[in-house]
Structure formats: structure tokens, C-alpha cells
Amino acid sequence: MSPRPGFMLEVDRSTPPTLFWHGEGFHLERLPEGSRVLYGPEPLEALADPVSAIRRALFEPLGDSAPLPELLRPGMRLTIAFDDVSLPLPPMRRPDVRQLVIEQVLDVAAEAGVDDVVLIAALALHRRMTDAELRHALGDRIYEAFAPHGLLRQHDAEEPAALVLLGETDQGETVEISRRAAESDLLVYVNINLVPMDGGHKSVATGLASYRSLRHHHNARTMQHSRSFMDQEHSELHSSNWRMGRFIAASGVKVFQIETTLNTDTFPEQFRFLQRREWEWTARDRAAFVASSSALARTPPRVARTIFHAIRSPHRMTSVQAGEVEAVHARTTANVYAQQLVEVDGQTDVLTMGLPYICPYNVNSIMNPILVACLGLGYFFNMYRGRPLVRQGGVVIMSHPTPWAFSPVHHPSYIDFFEQVLSETTDPLEVGKFEESFATDPWYVHLYRTGHAYHGVHPFYMWYWCAHALEHLGGVIVVGGDRAAVRRLGFTPASTMADALEMATDVVGPGPSITHLHAPPLVMADVR
């Protein structure tokens, strides 16, 4: 049976309660009559033979590019960059897409006799990956052939000797990327395009860049003018990255881009009910829901977190294309839309969403309040094309426990940002005053380079991600969250959804239209 497209459900009296994510847990909420619920399309068929598809992509590239074997010759310098642990979400089952693609690339490289090969995790300012995470993404064979010799590296945006300044675009944007990547004869980038924001020129221009480059598009102004940053045609973030990417190509860096898309078969068997429509739940699904939600209610948060972060998603590759960056990305974007896009008529007054336990920045870690805001007002709010799902001045209601908890290993600068910057101001334009001191703080730099910490400036980027939403909305309410933490974020705490809807009517007026975003699995709204 072919997968059904997504659609907008009108809630009536016979509609069963809707599933809401709530961090490391979920519950059922009865939405008022007349609300709408946006369901994403069902997962598309994965490729039956991914390895052949990859080989075909390498040998039959798109755009102005020769097939990979012709680009390789003995004695050349080859660099293979790949997306870091923030993709895909949740982490895939083995074998990871990156493992499959890079193994094929290395087979071709071995046949061509290329000796000087280096692999780089394109972290930008994200945290370094642990050895276990690298093994998971690349597989043991690649790890053991490269890691012991120091040829499996992680991008270091704070080591001046490892960066090279290529110049400035015509808009004055500094372009500074990894020296190894820029000075290679060929740079192969292996991407996983989970959402339409990823990929294209952004892979190299952001993933292998330094703070000096990133600040030109990772700022509040750019994000406010990206409507949305998931729609590259209308995104200031993408315009800037495209300029930088074209500049990088013009500077002589040869990039062979390999992009892949995944289907939205997100949850393993025991959590299958999370991606099924509620009225189609079988008796098994209902039993699984009851069992898991009551077990989770009794589980201490730490244990619940361990359980959830151990989930390995069964999502698989649906397409792979390789070659010249822009040609490849056009095909990739079309494939992502085919899996995730749903047409929606009109905007709504109130948008509700249940936030899961994971976002790109807390894989195997704690979801702190800043990341909750980023996931809700950054990612989910911006999953639209055309106009936001919620109208100007509307209200977003998010459901998440929002614990006042931070990982001191992964997010040390977030703690200081939350305690000392947000207590002064929550305006994304105003917090920029402190950005420089966090970005250049020597201790954060040390932790980023040698530990597993996000860069000192990263919490600012999380806050900038919310800039468009904060400018657009009339209010933000968090249901079931830690009250002090929610207030520190500048949002309003509510204990139940009913209370939240009451509070929302104070902002949007009586009898508001309500839409619930039933995600994950990922869904993007094409709003007319």
C-alpha cells in the first residue's frame, strides 16, 4: 500500500484524544471541537538496495561534475567531510547512511590509489563527537582504519593554524574555513538532509567554518529575515550561505557533494504508535501506549532520559544524489518536500505542539530550557513555507517539562547564558551585547576544543533561532514546565492545556482557532 499523504484533521466529538509529546514521555489530550491537527505524510519506501544506489550516484553525478573515479588519482589530497551527531534524529540504526556512503567513496579511492585521505566531522561550533558516536556513524571498519592514525578528525574552529581565510563575499561576509578542506584537491561532503534547512552550500560554508564566518548569518537580524529558514528561497540564512558557498567554489575549492534523504519511519516497533494516527491504533498500540506512559511516569528522569536516548530509529535512505552542490541540492530538497510537505489552508490563532526529548543539540544529553525554546520556537515554528502556521500576534503553546537542568559537560556556556544573560534580557537583539565575551572566553574555547562542549557562543545561536517567532507571536505558553525556568525564558507557565488555552484567549481573543502540530515524525506546512 502506498504511503498516504499528510493532511489536516478537523477535530470533532468522535475524534479520539490526540497524542502530545512531553519531553521524555507523552500523554493524550482532548483538543476542543473545531481544532485542527496537522498529520505528516506516512513514511515513503526506503531504497531496497542502498549500496547500489550510492554507487550509481557516485558514477552518475548531477550538474557540472565528473564521476567520482575520474576526480581521483594517486598522490592527490582527498578530504571527506560528514555531518556530525546532530543528524539524524533520533540516531539511525546501524549501518548509518554515512557509513554506507563513505565506505563506497573509500572503495573508489582505494581502487584509484589515493593515499592521503582525511575524514573530518563538520561540527562548525557544535561539540566534538565521542568515539562511540563516531563508530556509530562511520562503522567500525572506517573507524579502525582511520582513527588510530589520527586521520579521523573533528573540525576545530578555534585553531588558527587549522583555518584559512579565503576572503570576503561581495556583501562583506568573511569566509574562513578548515585549512585541510580548502587545500585539498577534492572535498567530498557526505550529508544527511533531515529537514530542508540542511544541505546545499550550507554544508561546507557553515559546517567547516569559523566563528568569524558564522557571525554573518548566525545572528538575530538574519533569523528575523528568514521566513522561514526551512525554505531556502525565502531565507536570509540561506542567501548568505549560498553567497559564501559560491565564493568558496570560486576560490578553487572543489566540492563533490553527496546528499541523502531519509523517510519518516522514526520510531522502533515498541513505540510504533507514536507515528500512527490515533484512530488507527490497534489493540497492541494502545497496550504499548498505556504500558509505556505509566512506566515512564514512575521512572526517575535520568533513567527515562537514558531509555529514550538509546532509541535507534529505523528510518532509512530514500534517495541519494551526488555531484555539483546546487544541482544535487535541488533534487534533495524536492525529495524532502515529497516526504514532509503538507498543504495547509490559512493560518491559526493558537498553535500547540508537544516537544519531544531530543533536538539536534542534546543528543545523548540533557534538554535544557534554552534548547526547549529553540526546538519549539526555532525548529517547529519554522517548519513552514509561505506563511507561518500561526498568525501574527498569535500564541504558541508548547508542552515540555522544561527542567532547570543543564549538562555541565555538553552545555557549560548555556548555564552562564541562562543565569546571567537571560536574567537581564530575553530580547534576541539585546542579548547580542554579550555575544562577543562568550565567544572569546578562553575557558569555553578550551572546553570546545578539548572536551565535548558546545562553543561558548552557541546558546546565543539557540536564542537567535527563536528571533523570528518571538517577533511574530503575541505570547508563548509552556504547559507542564518548571515555572521558574519558564519565566526566566520570558514565557508564561501553565499547569494544564486547558489553563494554557484560557491564558491564550487573553492574548488572541475569545474563541480562537487552534491547530496542533502532530510531530515528530517531521512534517512541514505549506501555508496558503
Question: What is the grid cell recorded at 287?
Answer: 497496550
Q: Count of CB atoms within 10 A of residue 95's CB?
A: 16
Tell whether residue 110 is a contact of another protein (CB under 8 A): yes
Tell whether residue 94 is a contact of another protein (CB under 8 A): yes
Of residues 263, 242, 260, 274, the one with CA closest to residue 175: 242
- Specify the stretch interacting with another protein by CB under 8 A; choose among 14-22, 146-154, 159-167, 497-505: 146-154
Nearer to another protein, 286 or 528 (CB): 286
# residues near another protein by CB under 8 A: 39
What does each C-alpha distance from 270 to 17, 136, 435 come to in angstroms?
20, 22, 43
- Give least dist CB 288 to another protein, A: 9
- Give least dist CB 301 to another protein, A: 15
Nearer to another protein, 388 or 403 (CB): 403
Q: H helices of 272-421, where? A: 283-297, 301-309, 325-340, 369-373, 412-416
Q: Give the integer Cα–Cα distance in Å for 449 and 340.
A: 36
Contact 81, 44 (CB under 8 A): no
Tell whether residue 270 is a contact of another protein (CB under 8 A): yes
- Give least dist CB 66 to another protein, A: 22
Q: Which residues of 297-321 are buried (b: 16+ CB within 10 A; e: fewer)?
A: eebeeeebbeebbebebbbbbbbbb
Q: Give the integer Cα–Cα distance in Å for 217 and 213.
A: 8
Q: Give the integer Cα–Cα distance in Å for 289 and 218.
A: 40
SS3 call for 511: coil
Considering only 33, 60, 70, 144, the residue that binds another protein (CB under 8 A) is: 144
Question: What is the grid cell recorded at 363?
Answer: 543528543
- Give least dist CB 260 to another protein, A: 18
- Give least dist CB 437 to another protein, A: 8
Nearer to another protein, 74 or 510 (CB): 74
Tell whether residue 136 is a contact of another protein (CB under 8 A): yes
Considering only 171, 420, 425, 450, the residue that binds another protein (CB under 8 A) is: 420
What residues between 442 and 461 interact with another protein by CB under 8 A?
Answer: 442-443, 446
- Give least dist CB 459 to another protein, A: 13
Nearer to another protein, 112 or 165 (CB): 112
Tell whether residue 390 is a contact of another protein (CB under 8 A): no
Considering only 59, 63, 76, 116, the residue that binds another protein (CB under 8 A) is: 116
What does each C-alpha distance from 118 to 52, 419, 454 come to in angstroms?
24, 40, 23
Tell whether residue 146 is a contact of another protein (CB under 8 A): yes
Tell whether residue 310 is a contact of another protein (CB under 8 A): yes
Of residues 148, 138, 44, the one with CA closest to residue 84: 138
The residue written with cell numbers 526566566 in the block is 488
Q: Taking CB under 8 A as the rule, which mask of x and - marks residues 317-346 in contact with another protein? A: ------------------------------
- DSSP letter at 235? B
Nearer to another protein, 28 or 291 (CB): 291
Tell whether residue 139 is a contact of another protein (CB under 8 A): yes
Q: Give the integer Cα–Cα distance in Å for 146 and 439.
A: 32
Nearer to another protein, 251 or 437 (CB): 437
Considering only 236, 285, 343, 416, the residue that binds another protein (CB under 8 A) is: 416
Query: Residue type at 380?
Result: F
Of residues 252, 234, 240, 232, the one with CA closest to residue 169: 240
Q: Which residues bind another protein (CB under 8 A)?
A: 93-95, 106-107, 110, 113, 115-117, 132, 135-136, 139-141, 144-146, 148-149, 151, 268-270, 306-307, 310, 312, 314, 415-416, 419-420, 437, 441-443, 446
